[in-house]
């Protein structure tokens, strides 16, 4: 007790300037600690909006803003939930609803304990009506428990290169350890949209299943030309979130907005801008080029994105003296140039013996 009093008296007796310096240092230390803890992670009330748009087949980024900030993503989480179930389970399977899937807070398809329903109706209810209860039912059906299913979600995220994403539940209900970035979420959505069953589910406007019928909540499907997916989301913490997809001509664009109050209007602006500014160019795997009188072609089809106003040029460079060439031999390199230089290069292989 006496020691504490002496320390207190010592502080009181310090010169005023020293006291101020100590207080400033303490305040700075506390502030720095706060910044480190919250580094690169934002909640909706911070008013930060994150967004990105990618071309689906190439993954080319067309637009982005704050795309690498970790943010909550609400029910857009269910893209991953649906993807895993679609990849691993038979949608015709029937199950009995577990008690843990009944009365889950938030959006619901109002499952009842002991009710029989098939996986297909649950997946459509998950993506069209954003059923939080459906997410839990599917997680338990797939993995035996929500916890084990969440492990699969995080493993899949890492597999897809979504390294700034962490899931703590299958439905997107608020949790401090549940977050993504616009870039990660767009990667996940692009991968999911390449799955034929997934893309069919999220593009459906009205659904009549064996046990349930739904109308899709995603207004983009009804109001935007070419819209074909994917998922809405909202919580107070995450704000309004929308992952959208639209196809015009050969180009399919996937966009993400997180914590965007006017998510439909902003998404429309992003998609319109990208469709106007960019074009998708494809070189078919059967397109033939000439390299020092040797006919050759790429081993696979090549797709790339360029500006609509951009002139694209092709250059074929021979690798070596072309003697004793056999069909399938590497003979040249195709280089594709835009106004800012090299866009990409691809090997070319002989289609003749010489």
Active site residues: 75, 78, 130
180 token code pair:
């993504």
What are the C-alpha distances in Å from 195 to residues 65, 85, 146, 198, 341?
Answer: 27, 12, 24, 5, 34
Helix axes 196-203, 78-88, angle to 10 degrees: 130
In terms of Cα–Cα distance, which of 269, 264, 263, 225 is closest to 247? 225
| Separation CA 318–CA 304 (nearest Å) | 22
CA-based torsion, 157, 45, 172, 177: positive or negative: positive
Question: Which SS3 state, helix, strand or coil, does residue 307 take?
Answer: strand
Q: Which two tokens stand for residue 120?
A: 């297909």
End-to-end CA distance of the chain: 98
Rounded CA-CA distance 48/70 in Å is 11
Q: Is 195 exposed, middle or buried (0-12, 13-18, 19+ CB in 10 A)?
A: middle
Beta bridge partners of 281: 304
Query: 341: which strand partners?
Result: 338
Nearest to 317 by CA among 281, 348, 353, 352: 348
């Amino acid at each position: 007790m006496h020691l504490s009093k002496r320390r207190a008296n010592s502080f009181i007796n310090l010169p005023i300037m020293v006291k101020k310096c100590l207080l400033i240092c303490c305040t700075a230390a506390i502030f720095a600690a706060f910044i480190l803890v919250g580094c690169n992670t934002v909640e909706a009330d911070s008013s930060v909006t994150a967004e990105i748009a990618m071309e689906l087949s190439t993954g080319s980024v067309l637009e982005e803003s704050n795309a690498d900030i970790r943010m909550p993503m609400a029910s857009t989480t269910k893209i991953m939930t649906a993807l895993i179930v679609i990849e691993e389970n038979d949608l015709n399977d029937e199950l009995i609803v577990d008690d843990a899937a009944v009365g889950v807070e938030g959006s619901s398809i109002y499952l009842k304990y002991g009710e029989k329903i098939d996986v297909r109706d649950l997946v459509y209810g998950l993506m069209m009506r954003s059923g939080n209860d459906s997410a839990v039912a599917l997680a338990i059906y797939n993995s035996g428990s929500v916890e084990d299913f969440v492990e699969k979600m995080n493993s899949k995220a890492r597999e897809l290169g979504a390294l700034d994403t962490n899931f703590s539940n299958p439905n997107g209900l608020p949790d401090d350890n549940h977050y993504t970035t616009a870039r990660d979420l767009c990667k996940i959505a692009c991968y999911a949209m390449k799955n034929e069953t997934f893309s069919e589910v999220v593009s459906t406007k009205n659904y009549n299943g064996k046990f349930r019928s739904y109308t899709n909540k995603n207004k983009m499907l009804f109001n935007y030309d070419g819209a074909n997916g994917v998922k809405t989301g909202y919580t107070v913490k995450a704000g309004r979130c929308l992952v959208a997809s639209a196809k015009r001509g050969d180009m399919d664009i996937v966009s993400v907005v997180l914590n965007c109050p006017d998510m439909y209007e902003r998404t429309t602006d992003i998609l319109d801008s990208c469709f106007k500014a960019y074009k998708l160019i494809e070189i078919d795997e059967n397109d033939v080029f000439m390299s020092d009188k040797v006919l050759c072609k790429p081993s696979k089809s090549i797709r790339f994105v360029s500006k609509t106003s951009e002139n694209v040029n092709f250059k074929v460079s021979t690798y070596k003296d072309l003697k004793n060439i056999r069909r399938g031999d590497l003979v040249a390199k195709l280089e594709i140039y835009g106004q800012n230089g090299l866009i990409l290069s691809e090997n070319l292989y002989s289609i003749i013996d010489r």
